[in-house]
């Protein structure tokens, strides 16, 4: 999230300006006289920037060294496909010495691990083809465990070969089971269709896997030493917190492209967790959003281009390489083999397109009920034009939507912040001001302990009526600021997951090329470093704890670890002195909360969602697989059968009428694409339990029964 504190930049980062000046004197001369090691220089510069600029720099000691040691090996070979136990023992001498290496700008540990990794990769590259020459026997009873956090490394090359053989066998078995079902369905549709034999399917599956591994090693062999060194650097900087990150030059270019809000791809954000590439966000308006064939939590196993017959297995890839395969020019098609959160495996196709910020703008919908009309504003992120704040941003757009809904005489408004990962701080402060008189919105504590209170200074209120804010586990950062502020002011009821994501920190991106002069080393990349922490007006941090919902409505991810507290090395929760503010309680506030909790307790849908959430948790915690066909097939059928009990959730239909509204202030009529998107969006709203409950809360808040009314303070 880019922060706008331009006035205080010089004072806040004077240490950085001084270092840049000194570096120009020291490194500027050195570059002319000799050829220093770029890797060592990067460690020196990054260490200095973090030490002086990080909000809460950790002490670089033996404990720090051990964490880097473990995390780096996890990053290099988390699936235990290359290193042996003897290799790990040879690395052990560095377990408590990496801190000394960092302080002395040495890279002996990296050099040792890098050379050993290349050696083991060469050995695996030499034997994997042999493992795929013979057909697999799926009558043999054996299993494979892929719980890499508890599995030891192979004790010998023979044991490593056995592990690779089982991985290959599992891949072929998954294809065989899926393809056999597909063949049976084809036969049902056409009696004349000749089913492909199991032998042919198995042979083709082995050939595809070999092609996948060939492609994987081609990618590995294309990676340069600097690519692996970037992994090492991030194993160091991520010890300070999950959001401090080193961008190699290529990664920095990608980051800049993302910040510009325009790129060509499928429109989904991916993350790697437990050695799986998973979907963590669907970008509104993008190809995946339009085609509606991927969901948050789905794992992408393989990628196939439309001009290729074989798919590439990406399960063990570095995420950047996987993303490169998935992205592509507008109009081209990519095929993804995915594993649904429920455990089903299938291949889908997606037509790539330009994904633009335009698709994430605020939009409103009118909800019509016999009791009156209500408004919904969906806000995917807190966007902004940093060059011209008055041109277009989330705050300005939401204000227009609020005014449009007021003209429709709505009785209450829902602000949907689900899956909103944050954005501009200034837009949050301005937007919060639309719902309160005036006063503090958020407190920001910066490196060095300086505290600043950001306030709404405009006494005007755009919307003073009933307000419900929808959140989930993916509502983060800026979303948490506005939800927390309006909760503290008692201006809104928060409905959603038990708590929001819990990211209460701010990062700034520092261009490392400005640290030296001369340019002999080429592009050094950039460092995203955590420099500030957010606090609510009541003094509590949103870090880790996030915002607790007033009314908890569980979802399928209720038991899955995905918040800030589940990340490695998050900053701690704390509190500071509260700001001075005056809450004002909405009419029927306590009554509406009590009634909603009662409805949810009695609603069978809620218990079914909770059961589904536990099911998803069990599936994501199951790392053991049968390798004989009968056992594998029986287990898969059992999972499919159990998952069908949740089909009832898709049968839900809201008892309201939804009518989307044109973009507020739009001078030209919406085009056909926009109309199609909004119509499809309305269909989704009809099946959204959370929107329905939010409307019912608004009905309770707007009740005219004076006996339940609570006077404003």
pLDDT tens for each residue of 641-665: 999 999 999 999 999 999 999 988 7
What pLDDT is attached to residue 513?
Answer: 85
Confidence at residue 251, expressed as pLDDT on a 0 to 100 scale: 67
The CA distance from 173 to 314, in Å, is 17
In this prediction, residue 508 carries a pLDDT of 87
Whether pTM exceeds 0.85: no
- Tens of pLDDT, residues 404-458: 999 999 999 999 999 999 888 889 999 999 999 999 999 999 988 889 999 999 9
Q: What is the pLDDT of residues 513-526, one digit of tens each?
A: 887 766 566 788 89
Res 30 pLDDT > 90: no
Q: Give the contacts of 407 (CB within 8 A, at least 6 positions apart).
A: none
First to last CA, the chain: 35
Helix (H) / strand (E) containing 412: none
As a whole number of angstroms, the distance between CA 689 and CA 683 comes to: 13
* % of the chain beyond a pLDDT of 90: 64
Lowest-confidence segment of 54-58, 147-151, 222-226, 587-591 by average pLDDT: 222-226
Polymer length in residues for the chain: 713
pLDDT at residue 309 tops 60: yes
pLDDT > 60? residue 542 = yes
User: Cα–Cα distance between 505 and 507 in angstroms, integer?
Assistant: 7
Write out the catalytic residue numbers: 477, 488, 503
Q: What does the block give as tokens for 521?
A: 């080393």
Q: What is the pLDDT of residues 342-351, one digit of tens each?
A: 788 999 999 9
Work out the mean pLDDT of the chain and round it to a whole number: 87
pLDDT digits (tens, 9 = 90+) for 167-194: 999 999 999 999 999 999 998 999 999 9
Domains of the chain: 58-239 (no CATH), 267-351 (2.30.42.10), 360-507+535-591+654-708 (3.90.226.10)
Distance CA 458, CA 438 (A): 6
Give residue 26's pLDDT band: very low, low, confident or very high (50, 70, 90): very low
Q: What is the mean pLDDT of residues 152-179?
A: 96
Across 156-298, the runs of DSSP E, i.e. the strands, are 245-247, 262-265, 268-273, 276-282
Q: What is the C-alpha separation between 179 and 185, in angstroms, rounded?
A: 10
* pLDDT above 60: residue 62: yes
Per-residue model confidence as pLDDT tens digits over 251-294: 655 555 444 345 678 888 887 765 678 888 887 678 998 888 89
Query: pLDDT grade, residue 704 (50/70/90)?
Result: low
- pLDDT band for 625, please (50, 70, 90 cuts): very high
Does residue 356 surpass a pLDDT of 70?
no
Residue 620: pLDDT band (50, 70, 90) is confident
Mean pLDDT of 629-650: 93
With cut-offs at 50, 70 and 90, classify the pLDDT of residue 34: very low
Instruction: Tell me how crowded residue 15 is: count the other CB atoms within 10 A of its CB.
Output: 15
Whether the per-residue pLDDT at 683 is higher than 70: the answer is: yes
pLDDT level of residue 9 (50, 70, 90 thresholds)? very low
- Mean pLDDT value of segment 320-329: 85
């Amino acid at each position: 999230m880019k922060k706008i504190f331009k006035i205080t930049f010089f004072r806040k980062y004077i240490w950085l300006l001084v270092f840049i000046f000194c570096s120009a004197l020291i490194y500027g001369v050195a570059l002319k006289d000799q050829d220093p090691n770029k890797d060592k220089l990067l460690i020196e510069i990054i260490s200095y920037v973090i030490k002086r600029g990080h909000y809460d720099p950790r002490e670089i000691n033996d404990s720090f060294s051990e964490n880097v040691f473990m995390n780096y090996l996890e990053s290099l070979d988390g699936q235990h496909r290359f290193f042996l136990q003897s290799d790990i023992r040879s690395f052990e001498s560095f377990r408590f010495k990496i801190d000394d290496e960092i302080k002395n700008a040495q890279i002996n540990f990296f050099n040792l691990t890098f050379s050993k990794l290349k050696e083991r990769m060469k050995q695996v590259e030499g034997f994997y083809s042999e493992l795929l020459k013979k057909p697999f026997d799926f009558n043999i009873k054996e299993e494979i465990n892929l719980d890499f956090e508890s599995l030891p490394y192979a004790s010998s090359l023979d044991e490593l070969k056995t592990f690779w053989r089982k991985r290959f066998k599992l891949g072929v078995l998954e294809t065989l089971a899926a393809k056999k079902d597909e063949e049976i369905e084809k036969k049902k549709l056409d009696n004349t269709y000749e089913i492909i034999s199991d032998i042919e399917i198995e042979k083709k599956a082995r050939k595809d896997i070999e092609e996948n591994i060939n492609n994987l090693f081609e990618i590995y062999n294309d990676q340069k030493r600097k690519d692996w060194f970037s992994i090492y650097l991030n194993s160091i900087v991520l010890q300070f917190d999950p959001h401090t990150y080193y961008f190699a030059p290529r990664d920095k270019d990608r980051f800049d492209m993302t910040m510009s809000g325009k790129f060509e791809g499928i429109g989904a954000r991916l993350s790697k967790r437990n050695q799986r590439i998973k979907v963590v966000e669907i970008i509104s308006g993008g190809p995946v959003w339009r085609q509606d064939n991927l969901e948050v939590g789905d794992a992408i196993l393989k990628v196939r281009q439309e001009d290729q017959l074989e798919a590439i297995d990406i399960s063990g890839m570095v995420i950047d390489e996987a993303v490169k395969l998935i992205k592509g020019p507008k109009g081209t098609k990519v095929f993804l083999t995915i594993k649904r959160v429920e455990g089903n495996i299938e291949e889908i196709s997606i037509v790539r397109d330009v994904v633009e910020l335009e698709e994430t703008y605020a939009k409103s919908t009118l909800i019509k009920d016999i009791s009156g009309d209500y408004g919904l504003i969906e806000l995917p992120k807190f966007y902004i034009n940093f060059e011209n704040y008055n041109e277009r941003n989330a705050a300005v757009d939401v204000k227009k939507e609020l005014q449009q809904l007021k003209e429709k005489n709505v009785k209450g408004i829902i602000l949907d912040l689900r899956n909103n990962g944050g954005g501009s701080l200034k837009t949050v402060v301005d937007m919060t001001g639309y719902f309160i008189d005036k006063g503090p919105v958020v407190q920001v504590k910066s490196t060095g302990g300086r505290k600043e209170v950001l306030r709404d200074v405009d006494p005007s209120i755009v919307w003073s009526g009933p307000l419900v804010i929808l959140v989930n586990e993916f509502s983060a950062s800026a979303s948490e600021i506005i939800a927390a502020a309006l909760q503290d002011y008692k201006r809104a009821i928060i409905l959603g997951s038990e708590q929001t994501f819990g990211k209460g920190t701010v990062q700034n991106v520092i261009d490392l090329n400005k640290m030296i002069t001369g340019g002999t080393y080429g592009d050094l990349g950039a460092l995203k470093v955590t420099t500030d922490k957010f606090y609510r007006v009541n003094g509590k941090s949103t870090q880790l704890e996030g915002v607790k919902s007033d009314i908890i409505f569980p979802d399928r991810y209720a038991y899955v670890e995905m918040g800030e507290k589940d990340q490695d090395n998050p900053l701690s929760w704390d509190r500071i002195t509260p700001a001075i503010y005056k809450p004002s309680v909405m009419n029927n506030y306590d009554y509406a909360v009590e009634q909603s909790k009662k409805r949810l307790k009695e609603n069978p849908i809620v218990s079914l969602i909770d059961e589904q959430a536990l099911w998803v948790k069990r599936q994501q915690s199951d790392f053991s697989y049968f390798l004989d066909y009968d056992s594998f097939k029986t287990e898969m059928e059992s999972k499919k059968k159990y998952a069908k009990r949740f089909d009832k959730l898709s049968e839900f239909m809201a008892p309201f009428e939804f009518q989307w509204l044109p973009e507020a202030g739009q001078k030209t009529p919406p085009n056909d694409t926009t109309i199609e998107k909004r119509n499809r969006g309305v269909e989704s709203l009809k099946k959204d339990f959370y929107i329905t409950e939010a409307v019912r809360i608004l009905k309770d808040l707007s009740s005219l029964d004076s006996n339940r009314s609570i006077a404003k303070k």
